[in-house]
């Protein structure tokens, strides 16, 4: 395998966390690894709601932190919630200075929306539902104007090199169809910012390439994974034949849209005092129940928004139009879909994980902010705060000035095609067995199937990473014999009376759980 050395910091990923970290490291030279053209393929660009921050004088970081802890069902780390919410305002001001066109009031203030489980309107938005895309646009423009940042497009990371217990390099290959022979890149430091795991599910709102590969890569190298079982399902993915499913942002319900079924019943009134603005896990389960009962849940924006839905929420309107749905005239069919992974590589306040020499931020990390159920619009905020924290810590660890020679990669033919049918089978298994509602039989079936798929197709490194993350999610879900936040066990429907605990698991432990199930099933 060809080995390339560079003085640049290697950043795996090209979403909001990766871009922001690269900018905060400037003028220290970095090289970003992007499987797609910059701006495409990242979940960040698809975020509709906005960034949560206490920008109103009547609001406070303390209230924001309290809402974060309440939504997280007991497993949020208070120190992390305080750290993130206190930093939120400065990051909004920083993004504004970079050129993010946040919606503003006539007197120059920020337009603030209220979303589920927030006690105040504190979601800073752009063009209604364009926050992620607009923030990405501003960051990409800034990155392209920063000489210290090199972006390698069409390249994907597949594994980490660990030397004497420390991460020393990352193995890369072409992300183009047909693959390539791998190349090992050894940088001054290594930061993983490559997204979450929603695409491991057949019904998801995430871009097609975001399938837990970065978490799996770190796990296979030995990193501790936290809270893997906590996968958030967005209640209102638009229920159409499109993969990934388009999203009907929660801000619609914040503006007064209601949920009804095909009998015209507003079913959330009986489910929670906050009705449509209940925490996401509760709304998602009620949506799931309606779907399972054949009652087609729908989001009705007609009375609350009327014709203004097209102007205020253009992404939703465009998605509806693609499928012949007119939200001005009829409710939007919706379904629960895998949306955000609260779990990931366990990190501290500096973004360090259990593997020396490796930092992680963005959705691939589990910082302790989200607990068992992420508060709406805290995802982009967490990415910003910890991208900066990682950048500051990495810079402090590196001495002197680095050379700025660019990294030149030449991929030779080779490698294997991604096992498309196996990936489809894995995604279907996760939706059917490790979805909104779980039980022991389903989780054991999932682990058995994941093992079968990995045994037959695990030679492909990317697929092996997917299987590692899927194994951790299912094994942690099996081990958590209670219901908490986004993790609901029909065979253990109540929270553990002994109190809330975060989960921590290595891939070796998850494999042992999986192997025991396979042995029992084949005896």
Q: Give the residue numbers annotated as catalytic, written as ranges.
A: 280
378/291 Cα distance (integer angstroms): 28
Alpha carbon 440 to its chain's center: 25
- Residue 430: count other Cβ atoms within 10 Å of its Cβ: 30
422/463 Cα distance (integer angstroms): 9
- Owner of token pair 């931020």: 361
| String of DSSP letters for 259-285 | EE-TT---GGGGT-TTGGGS-HHHHHH
| String of DSSP letters for 321-344 | HHTT--TTTSPEEEEEEEEEES-E
Cis peptide before 244 (omega within 30 of 0): yes
Tokens of 250: 């929660």
Cβ atoms of residues 373 and 73 within 8 Å: yes
Cβ atoms of residues 142 and 18 within 8 Å: no
3/10 Cα distance (integer angstroms): 14
- Owner of token pair 């020499």: 357
Q: What 3-state class would DSSP assign to 93?
A: helix
| Count of residues in the chain | 523
Edge to edge, what strands does the sheet with 155-163 contain?
A: 2-5, 183-186, 166-174, 155-163
229/232 Cα distance (integer angstroms): 10
């Amino acid at each position: 395998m060809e080995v390339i050395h560079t003085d640049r910091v290697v950043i795996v990923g090209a979403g909001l966390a990766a871009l922001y970290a690269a900018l905060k490291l400037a003028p220290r030279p970095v090289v970003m690894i992007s499987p797609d053209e910059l701006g495409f393929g990242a979940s960040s660009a698809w975020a509709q709601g906005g960034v949560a921050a206490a920008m109103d004088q009547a609001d406070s970081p303390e209230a924001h932190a309290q809402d974060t802890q309440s939504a997280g069902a007991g497993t949020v780390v208070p120190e992390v919630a305080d750290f993130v919410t206190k930093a939120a305002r400065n990051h909004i001001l920083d993004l504004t200075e970079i050129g993010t066109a946040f919606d503003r009031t006539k007197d120059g203030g920020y337009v603030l929306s209220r979303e589920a489980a927030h006690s105040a309107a504190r979601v800073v938005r752009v063009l209604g539902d364009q926050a992620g895309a607009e923030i990405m646009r501003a960051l990409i423009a800034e990155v392209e104007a920063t000489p210290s940042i090199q972006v390698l497009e069409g390249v994907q990371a597949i594994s980490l090199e660990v030397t004497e217990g420390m991460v020393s390099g990352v193995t890369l290959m072409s992300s183009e169809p047909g693959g390539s022979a791998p190349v090992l890149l050894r940088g001054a430091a290594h930061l993983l910012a490559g997204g979450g795991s929603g695409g491991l599910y057949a019904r998801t709102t995430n871009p097609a390439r975001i399938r837990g590969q970065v978490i799996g890569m770190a796990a296979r190298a030995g990193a501790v994974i936290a809270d893997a079982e906590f996968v958030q399902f967005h209640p209102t993915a638009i229920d159409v034949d499109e993969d990934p499913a388009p999203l009907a942002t929660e801000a619609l319900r914040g503006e007064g849209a209601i949920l009804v079924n095909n009998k015209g019943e507003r079913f959330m009134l009986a489910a929670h005092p906050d009705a449509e603005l209940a925490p996401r896990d509760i709304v998602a389960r009620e949506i799931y129940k309606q779907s399972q009962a054949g009652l087609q849940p729908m989001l009705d924006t007609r009375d609350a928004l009327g014709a203004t839905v097209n102007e205020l929420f253009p992404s939703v309107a465009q998605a509806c139009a693609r499928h012949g749905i007119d939200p001005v005239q009829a409710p939007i069919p919706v379904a629960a879909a895998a949306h955000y992974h609260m779990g990931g590589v366990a990190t501290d306040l500096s973004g360090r994980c259990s593997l020396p020499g490796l930092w992680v931020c963005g959705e691939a990390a589990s910082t302790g902010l989200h607990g068992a159920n992420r508060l709406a619009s805290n995802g982009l905020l967490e990415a910003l705060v910890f991208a900066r924290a990682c950048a500051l810590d990495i810079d402090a660890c590196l001495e002197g000035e680095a050379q700025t020679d660019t990294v030149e990669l030449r991929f030779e033919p080779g490698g294997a095609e991604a096992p498309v049918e196996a990936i489809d089978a894995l995604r279907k298994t996760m939706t059917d067995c490790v979805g909104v509602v779980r039980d022991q039989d389903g989780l054991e079936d999932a682990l058995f199937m994941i093992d079968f798929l990995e045994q037959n197709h695990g030679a492909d490194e990317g697929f092996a990473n997917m299987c590692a993350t899927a194994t951790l999610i299912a094994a942690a879900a099996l081990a958590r014999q209670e219901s908490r936040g986004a993790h609901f066990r029909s065979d253990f429907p109540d929270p553990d009376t002994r109190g809330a605990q975060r989960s921590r698991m290595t891939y070796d432990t998850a494999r042992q759980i999986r192997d025991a199930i396979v042995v029992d099933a084949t005896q």
